[in-house]
Amino acid sequence: RVITLVKYLTGKKDVELEHNLKEDLGIDSLDHIELMMETEEEFDIIISDEEAEKLSAVQDIVQFVKLQKGRKK
């Protein structure tokens, strides 16, 4: 679902886990904020500003969501 969100926000059809949000997908700081907000809403989690700064690749977001969802169980 993270990849689907990234595809939706970037308009890119080819999004891989290894892709860097800024360098590979062209996500700027405003797009990054929107992606974090959409991710929070989609997965019912909270991403602090400090944590968001560390999420620079699609895989980083996937790992973060898994970690957060695991803590809620």
Residues known to be catalytic: 28
- Torsions phi, psi for 15 (to 5 deg): -125, 125
**Residue whose tokens read 């679902």:** 1
Place of tokens 């939706």: 8
Give the SS3 label for residue 58.
Answer: helix
**Residue 32 DSSP code:** H
